[in-house]
Amino acid sequence: MELAPIPHNEAERQAVITRMRIATFDAEPELDRITSLAKRIFDVKSATVTVLDHDRQIFKSRANFEKLESSRDISFCGHAITRTGPMVINDARADQRFCDNPLVACNEPIIFYAGMPVHHHEGYPIGTLCIFDNKPREMSERDIDNLKDLAYLVEMVLLLRFAQFSQKRLLQNLDDAVRQSMMDPMTGLWNRRGLDEILDRELAPDGAPVPEPCGVLLCDIDHFKAVNDTHGHLIGDEVIISIAGMLKNHLRENDIIARVGGEEFVCVIPGMTRDMTPKIAQKLCDILRNTPIETSEGKTLNLTISIGATWLSPVMGPINRKAVFETADEALYSAKYSGRDRVVFNAEPLKDRTKGLFERH
């Protein structure tokens, strides 16, 4: 039997697993949906998402599989994480690496195995999405593509969960004075400084590629000056608080929302495709248009927002954040100029702008 090898970057890999806090048995409903889907798509006995910890293999999600952990030395996944692509074992009994493995020579053997490495966004393999069966099988090219796509979804789930945890951890680690300097006191959202900090820590440093696709929305309350002029600044504040609440209620907990101006908000939405970014923006426009704001004075205000949207992807290479914001800003200007209460989407961040995150003053 060939023991699972140790990756050359094992120390860094373990540091990432520790930082992500994923070597646990916590319930993972999003991952459970993926493993259940994998089991159905490939019509196999079992599917799991694994994390390769120091000396053990942890099963983070299990479809028709009871074990919570097993020895890393004898694991198939310990071999799979050293590969750049999927590892497929059609019949482990005929493979010299695994034919006498305890997982093969047992009452409920693993005969067929296919595993795709799952990576942290910095590139370190942290585990696998794998499928296995107690009889020989073969994988077509289409099957392999499907396994790769499902493994990518696992990576997105883990990354989004880490982003959510990171925002909470950042708030917990700050002392009161620093926390207050990074939060908008009226809405409880990040302010510009806080937005800088959370994006630097959890998305990508300025001038670096983003680790995953994400949408960027710049939202502006239409005719907000008229609200202040007509109803007063206290009602204007209530409007800002209400719209901030709407954004928080209709975006995910791990999405990054900041108030960056009097009536302007930035939403950074990780894991968003190019096509979905303007759809999410339009959904926010529609929700506000159809949700009157009730003020403390008993007044009902029917308001709208305009949104300039853009989109980022790892394939774009190093990202100039100021250029990204200015792209969204120009899209917002177009939305305002063309009648307000709409979304303008520009998926091509402007080039050759000076660096610096959201530095419009």
Residues labelled as active-site residues: 263
Residue 278: CA count within 13 A, CB half-sphere: 14
**By three-state DSSP, how is residue 195 classified?**
helix
Nearest-angstrom CA–CA distance, 222 and 341: 7
Asked if 325 and 308 count as a contact pair (C-beta separation under 8 A), the reply is: no
Q: Do the strands 87-89 and 293-294 form a parallel or antiparallel pair, or are they unpaired?
A: unpaired
| Backbone φ, ψ for residue 112 (5° rounding) | -105, 140
Question: Is the CB of residue 103 less than 8 Å from the CB of residue 110?
Answer: yes
The whole-angstrom separation of Cα 202 and Cα 170 is 10
What is the rounded CA–CA span in Å between residue 49 and residue 151? 9
